[in-house]
Amino acid sequence: MPIQSIDTRRVYQQIADQLLKLIEAGEFPVDSRLPSERDLAEKFKVSRPSVREALIALEVIGVVQIKMGSGVYVCKPEDAKQKGRKKNDIAVKDFAPFELIQARLLIESEIAAQAASCRNDEDVEQLEALLQQMIDHSFDNRNPLDPDREFHATLARATGNQVLTSIVEQMFDARMGVLFSRLSNYFDTRTTWEQAIKEHRAIVRAVKARDPEKARQAMRHHMERAYKRFSASWLKNGQPDQSGIGASKLALSAKSAKAGKIPG
């Protein structure tokens, strides 16, 4: 049996490549609406977040356009050329945004619990000051990400573990990648930031009370809510999550592209 090469690309890259082949083959014409995330996930046998990441990657290189309240549409080839599209440009260095949130949930929940046990008064003062900065930035229409990053880094520093601090900083910096930034453009609003601020306030309250379990749960809740916020539908006003091209067309197209099962 011949040895086959191992596909080391991230799941969203594999999905994006398959969709790109289908679009280039004319299965999805210019200006047509792609099937829903649900249909794509079912046909490719992957999670819906992985499909969303793939669609964001395709939008970054100009292959599709995401229209909030409507769906995802195929762009003219010229739009992609203007962005200098290449098949290898599909965000090869970016972590998958939803995997990043999952990693942060697992790691930062325990960091919050440890911080509640180890923190000193100065740590609490810094967290409260950073929380206020996030509030001020939100009301002044400034991006709260800078104080948000420092908030999570300060929480990690409260554990006294430099490795954890470095990991948190690297994970947050990965949030600034092109895929996550594009996703944020669609779903970060003043309302979502107000919700996030309430979640940060609960974290501070638990850390200040030296309650590790409440701190762990508060951070877990924050990350779970973040995951849900970025998973919200592209569609609005109760529109059905349907595609402009039927599921049967997708099934035929997926077969023609030899999509198969992509793990994820």
Half-sphere exposure of 59 (CA within 13 A, CB side): 21
Question: Using an 8 Å Cβ cutoff, are 48 and 41 in contact?
Answer: yes
* Mean pLDDT for the stretch of residues 161-186: 93
Residue-level pLDDT at 190? 86
Question: Tell me: the pLDDT tens digits for 57-93?
Answer: 999 999 999 998 889 999 987 655 545 555 555 555 6
Q: Which residues contact 96 (CB under 8 A, 6 or more apart)?
A: 10, 11, 12, 49, 50, 53, 179
Q: What domains are defined for the chain?
A: 11-93+235-256 (1.10.10.10), 97-230 (1.20.120.530)
DSSP E strand boundaries for the chain: 64-67, 71-74
Give the Cα separation of 161 and 174 in Å (integer).
20
Q: For 125-129, 168-172, 174-178, 219-223, which range has the lowest pLDDT when averaged over its residues?
A: 174-178
Q: Which residues contact 230 (CB under 8 A, 6 or more apart)?
A: 97, 98, 101, 183, 184, 187
Q: Give this prediction's pTM.
A: 0.78
